[in-house]
């Protein structure tokens, strides 16, 4: 059994493929460590209580709510945030499709939608509208009315599929 000291926690956190030794207050959530200790503010801070999906990140490839995960729990796990989505200067097809389809208005919900949709397409490249709706049902958007978001995910899926079959 390993005990960490009361004041500071130290873990090795892998974010977007880069592993860092981090020292932080043990009561912090992954969201707080990403934004405050790593300066990765792409992941948004919304309700803090699991209700909005703005804070979604991928943990070992699965979308989770970073506001509900203690950073300490991520020791040795792979975290992927919106900052890791683009391939250097090349946007991810989902990012392009969101821009093309008007799937982002104020943009606050967008990083959460993008990483959640990425996990879906990684697993189901041909996801149906029903599967997209279900997968994104924990991400709230107050601006778009969702339709453009679903369309953007479909467009990205089509593009990614076309590229693969070439």
Partner 1 sequence: MMRAGRFRYVVAKSAAEAAQALADGGGKAMLLAGGTDLVPNMKRRQQMPEIVVSLRQVAELREVAMNGETAIGAGVTLADVVRDPRLRQHGALFRAVAQVATPLIRNTATLGGNLCLDTRCNYYDQNYEWRRAIDFCKKAPGPEAVAIDAVADDGDGTCWVAPSSARCWAVSSTDSAPALIALGARVTLLSSRDGAREIPLEALFHDDGMHYMTKRADEVLTRVRVPHDGVRSTYWKLRRRGAFDFPALGVAAAVRFGTAGVVEHARVVLGAVASKPLLLPESSLLVGRALTDDAIAEFVDATARWAKPLDNTDFLMTWRKQVSKLFLGGVLRELRGDDVQTFPLLARRAATLRNPVW
Ligand X SMILES: Cc1cc2nc3c(=O)[nH]c(=O)nc-3n(C[C@H](O)[C@H](O)[C@H](O)COP(=O)(O)OP(=O)(O)OC[C@H]3O[C@@H](n4cnc5c(N)ncnc54)[C@H](O)[C@@H]3O)c2cc1C
| Residues near ligand X (CB under 6 A) | 49-51
Residue 58 and residue 15 in contact, taking contact as beta carbons nearer than 8 Å: no
Which of the choices ligand X, ligand FES, partner 1, none does residue 95 contact, using the CB cut-off of 5 to 8 A by kind? none
Maximal CA-CA distance, the chain = 55
Coil, helix or strand at residue 158: helix
Which of the choices ligand X, ligand FES, partner 1, none does residue 139 contact, using the CB cut-off of 5 to 8 A by kind? partner 1
Residues of span 90-119 touching ligand FES by CB under 6 A: 104-109
Q: Is 69 in the site for ligand FES (CB under 6 A)?
A: no
> Which of 1, 81, 21, 31 is CA-nearest to residue 9?
21
Pairing status of strand 78-80 against strand 9-15: parallel
Among positions 110, 139, 144, 148, the unique one binding partner 1 when judged by CB under 8 A: 139
How far apart are CB 164 and ligand FES at their closest, in Å? 29
Distance (Å, rounded) from C-alpha 164 to C-alpha 121? 13
Q: Is 51 in the site for ligand FES (CB under 6 A)?
A: yes
């Amino acid at each position: 059994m390993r005990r960490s000291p009361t004041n500071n926690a130290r873990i090795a956190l892998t974010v977007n493929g880069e592993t860092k030794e981090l020292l932080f207050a043990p009561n912090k959530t992954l969201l707080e460590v990403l934004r405050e200790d790593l300066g990765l503010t792409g992941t948004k801070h919304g309700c803090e209580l699991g209700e909005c999906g703005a804070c979604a990140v991928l943990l070992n490839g699965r979308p989770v709510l970073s506001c509900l995960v203690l950073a300490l729990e991520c020791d040795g796990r792979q975290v992927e945030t919106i900052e890791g989505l683009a391939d250097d200067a090349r946007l991810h097809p989902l990012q392009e499709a969101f821009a093309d389809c008007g799937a982002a208005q104020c943009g606050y919900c967008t990083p959460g939608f993008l990483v959640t949709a990425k996990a879906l397409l990684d697993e189901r490249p041909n996801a149906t509208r029903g599967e997209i709706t279900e997968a994104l049902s924990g991400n709230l958007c107050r601006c778009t009315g969702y339709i453009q978001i679903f369309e953007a995910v479909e467009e990205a899926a089509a593009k990614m599929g076309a590229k693969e079959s070439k």
